[in-house]
Amino acid sequence: MDTHALIKPLLVKNDSKIVLYVGDGLGGLPQEPGGKTELETANTPNLDQLAREGVLGGSIPVAPGISPGSGPGHLGLFGYDPVKFLIGRGALEATGIGFELREGDVAVRANFCTLDAQGNISDRRAGRIPSEESAPLAIKLRQVKIPGIEVFVEPVKEHRFVIVFRGPGLEGAVADTDPQLTGVPPLAAKPTDPGSKKTAEICNEFVKQAQQILKDEKKANGCTLRGVAGKPSLPSFDEAYGLRAAAIAVYPMYKGLARLAGMDIVGDAKTLDEQMQVLKANWDKYDFFFIHFKYTDSSGEDGNFDAKVKRTEEYDAAVPQILALKPDVVIATGDHSTPSMLASHSWHPVPTLLWAKHCRPDAATAFGERDCVTGGLGQFEAKHLMTLALANAGRLGKYGA
């Protein structure tokens, strides 16, 4: 079923305001059987109050049992089928920093890494090298020359940078070179379909030259390539939902995804409190606000249960600033689960809270995984979240006679 085609004739214009408040990687797991998850352990009085007044459920980002990347996870939240609209991370990163991709370009999200004397990875993120150290190294990699191909290299944040290849005959079906392990060498770039053989060869040549350029660096003496992708095409939020949409995010990738979905990127906030100030300053200009909080995910990926609990409490503490603006619909959720026990994205349904004047409350008394399992929204595919938001905002008319 094409949801966008279904709802297009049902869309209703009004003055309602919708806030999608995303705690990246929000879902977790207990450290021991019968214990509490990070979300359940955290002190979250504001979200708990919304849970008592609203309705809970568990969103499935892609399909049961599938662990999603951040791109598919957010696409589902935005109402796009993440299987149909698959966007590579490279395209997201490039768009997020404002790079204008052309048709035929291939973008790559790259990570600096640390290689030992044997060429094995000792740190996949180069010690999370700070941006002021990594940016000059990314610019240095502009020395890479590949015959017949334009090569663009742009700094992103910390250990991340973006590469864009421009030239004839390029396609983006190339597997990642990050083995997701330490103690082993980076993988060779390999095409996942025959049409991307040339791109894989170019990726390998880039890495070869990059390692030569970086060989004397202590932290960032190597790099891995992820999310190789061409330019995608999505229907915009205005086309799909009739919404003027704004994104308030810190990290470039999430700005990129929002921009590809036709949202305006507003403000230049660096902290959650600054994001809330941007929200307030732009409240009268937009119908829909996507607010992204990264650190519930990064603390989970670091395997740090206590840090994720603290970050979840930060996420909760900003809720009163959202409610002070009197939104009509507030959705608090994540793009996927990142249990600190697994130190990675997982397949578990994501805790989801929908608060609105006309929602049907359930019996939940707190916002946590156990309450979400029995919540009134049930377990649902994330791609249906936007129709629920629109309905609760009074923006969908009746279907059929």
Instruction: Enter the pTM of the model.
Output: 0.80
**What does the H/E/C string look like for 206-262?**
HHHHHHHHHCCCCCCCEEEEEEEEECCCCCCHHHHHCCCEEEECCCHHHHHHHHHCC
Whether 397 is covered by a domain: the verdict is no
Whether 196 is covered by a domain: the verdict is yes
CATH number of 51's domain:
3.40.720.10
Whether 166 is covered by a domain: the verdict is yes
Q: Do residues 54 and 146 both lie within one domain?
A: no
Residue-wise pLDDT tens digits, 169-190: 999 999 999 999 999 999 999 9
Q: What is the pLDDT of residue 38?
A: 98
Whether 23 is covered by a domain: the verdict is yes
Number of domains in the chain: 2
Residue 276 DSSP code:
H
How far apart are alpha carbons 323 and 180 in whole angstroms?
40
**What does the H/E/C string look like for 163-189?**
EEEECCCCCCCECCCCCCCCCCCCCCC
> What kind and span of H or E run contains 329?
strand 329-333
Q: What is the pLDDT of residue 1?
A: 67
At residue 83's C-alpha, the angle toward residues 86 and 90, to 5°, is 15
- The range of the structural domain enclosing residue 97 comes to 92-230
Q: Do residues 257 and 310 both lie within one domain?
A: yes
Q: Do residues 181 and 196 both lie within one domain?
A: yes
Contact 56, 361 (CB under 8 A): no
Contact 384, 356 (CB under 8 A): no
Whether 291 is covered by a domain: the verdict is yes
Q: Do residues 23 and 105 both lie within one domain?
A: no
Q: What is the pLDDT of residue 140?
A: 97
Contact 228, 203 (CB under 8 A): yes
How far apart are alpha carbons 58 and 373 in whole angstroms?
6
136, with CB counted inside 10 A (0-12, 13-18, 19+), is exposed
Q: Do residues 151 and 273 both lie within one domain?
A: no
Q: Do residues 142 and 47 both lie within one domain?
A: no
Residues of the chain with pLDDT under 50: none
Q: Which of 230, 252, 271 delimits the end of a domain?
A: 230
Residue-wise pLDDT tens digits, 197-220: 999 999 999 999 999 999 999 999
Q: Do residues 194 and 225 both lie within one domain?
A: yes
Q: Do residues 54 and 144 both lie within one domain?
A: no
Q: What is the pLDDT of residue 27?
A: 97
Q: Which of 230, 248, 273 delimits the end of a domain?
A: 230
Q: Do residues 258 and 352 both lie within one domain?
A: yes
At residue 337's C-alpha, the angle toward residues 332 and 341, to 5°, is 130
Contact 45, 360 (CB under 8 A): no
Q: Do residues 29 and 146 both lie within one domain?
A: no
Q: Do residues 214 and 241 both lie within one domain?
A: no
Whether 401 is covered by a domain: the verdict is no
How far apart are alpha carbons 279 and 247 in whole angstroms?
9
Whether 364 is covered by a domain: the verdict is yes
Q: Which of 202, 230, 258 delimits the end of a domain?
A: 230
Q: Do residues 383 and 249 both lie within one domain?
A: yes
